[in-house]
Copies of this chain bind each other. A is one copy, B any other.
Amino acid sequence: MRSSTVLVRGKQNGAARGARIGDVAREAGVSTATVSRALAHPAQVSKELRERVGAAVAKLGYTPNAAARQLRVKRSRTVLVVTRRRWSAPFFAEVLRGLDAELSAAGYAMVLANFDGDGGNRSRQLVDMMFSGTIEGAVMLSGIVVAAEGRTMLDAGLPLVSLCAAAEGTHTVLTNEAECIVEGARRLAVLGHTDFLYLAGPPSNYNERVRWAALSAFFADPRQAGLRLRRAESGDFSTDGGLSAAQAFLGLSPRPTAVIASADEIAIGFMKAVRAAGIGVPSDVSVLGFDGIEFADFCEPVLSTIRQPREALGRLGARVLIEAIEAPSLPPLSHHVLPSRLDFRASTGPAPPGGASRGREAAPAPKRKGARAPVPAPAEGR
């Protein structure tokens, strides 16, 4: 049989072998049922035995085995958080903090997994997690419902929350980003700008699509007939993306006087590159970013941006998920919208008096390969 000597902190070929519930029961002179009850439902146990059990637990350093408990009660108190590698790190880190704060306060552990649409291995890992009982729900920052072998994460029937993204069949927590970006364009128009350039992020990204759709819809409105909107691709929510978008900008003629980026990183990279080419911000071109990351305050000039409530998004996402998990029956899908806030600062100003530059007075970009034409709007939006 099993060794009868009690190992308090014994180690045995690499794995810890702690006390089991039976050891505690023996030590306290009670049954295992009483030990279990004393720990989980203290009110059901007499003061006398409760104390004996407590002493035995402390003496042996007992911690209930999580797998055994999970198997029996079918609750893991663990949730999955799916992220995307291409995300903006400063944005993501804050959201994660909100999630962690709320989840840990409620006693949930958080499993973090990147998902970048890889071939099939990671997809299967994630889908299996949903079906294996390890997980009680998931927060998806990717907007993608991962699928593998004919099953999707949704099929497990667990609550799912899309955070900063929307997917069929999930709860959603969003911001009013569409309104905000339109409001930004409107404010720039009030400052006299008529020629706009949108710096797009990864076209497959949900937020990217929403922002572009809102912006292009606004410009398509006949009441905005005097305004012009073009679009340049950055490829990524990154400063590098901003650098490459700047090359496209420098090739345009006439040059737009107002630039709206789909992420602060893009705006920051863009500003650096155009200023290096002798273009003034905001004297020649106004730049508006998106997200409100910390470094928007520290670039030159200080970046106008749309501030997203990052930590609050994480907190709300967590609460929505926890509520769905703990509801006695399947709750209806909920949809929340948190407000983002437009913050105009030094990188935006009145349109230059002479109107748009012809793209001549500044030194042309040293080596720009194949003038990137502005890209037509994709099918979605309108």
Minimum Cβ distance to chain B for residue A19 (Å): 10
The residue on B at minimum CB distance from A12 is B157
**Is A298 a contact partner of B268 (Cβ separation < 8 A)?**
yes
Contact of A295 among B100, B113, B125, B298 (CB under 8 A): B298
Q: How far is the CB of A104 from chain B (nearest CB, A)?
A: 6
Q: A277: shortest Cβ distance to chain B, in Å?
A: 15
Query: Which of chain B's residues has its CB closest to A105's CB?
Result: B121
Q: Of the 9-residue stretches A66-74, A175-183, A340-348, which lies at the interface with chain B?
A: A66-74
Interface of A is mostly: mixed
Tell which of A40-48, A84-92, A244-252, A354-362 binds the partner. A84-92
A128 partner residues in chain B, CB cutoff 8 A: 63
Q: Does A18 contact B (CB under 8 A)?
A: yes
Chain B residues with Cβ below 8 Å from A64 are 132
- Contacts A9-B157, A13-B329, A151-B61 given; does A297 touch B239 at CB 8 Å: yes
A36 within 8 A of partner (CB): no
- Pick the residue among B11, B74, B94 that contacts A330 (CB under 8 A): B11
Residues of B contacting A149 in the complex (Cβ-Cβ under 8 angstroms): 58
A344 to B: closest C-beta gap in Å: 19
Closest to A87 in B: B93
- A interface, how many residues as a size bin? 35 or more
**Alpha-carbon separation in the docked complex, A114 to B157 (Å):** 29
B65 & A71 in contact (Cβ 8 Å cutoff) = yes
Contact A300 B297, beta carbon cutoff 8 Å:
no
Interchain CB contact (< 8 A) of A132 among B66, B238, B300: B66
8 contacts between A and B (CB under 8 A): A9-B155, A15-B157, A15-B158, A70-B70, A92-B93, A96-B112, A100-B112, A100-B113
Question: Interface of A with B (CB < 8 Å)?
Answer: 9-11, 13-16, 18, 58, 61, 63-68, 70-71, 74, 76, 78, 81, 85, 89-90, 92-94, 96-97, 100-101, 104, 107, 109-114, 122, 125, 128-134, 149, 151, 155-158, 238-239, 265, 268-269, 272, 294-295, 297-300, 327-330
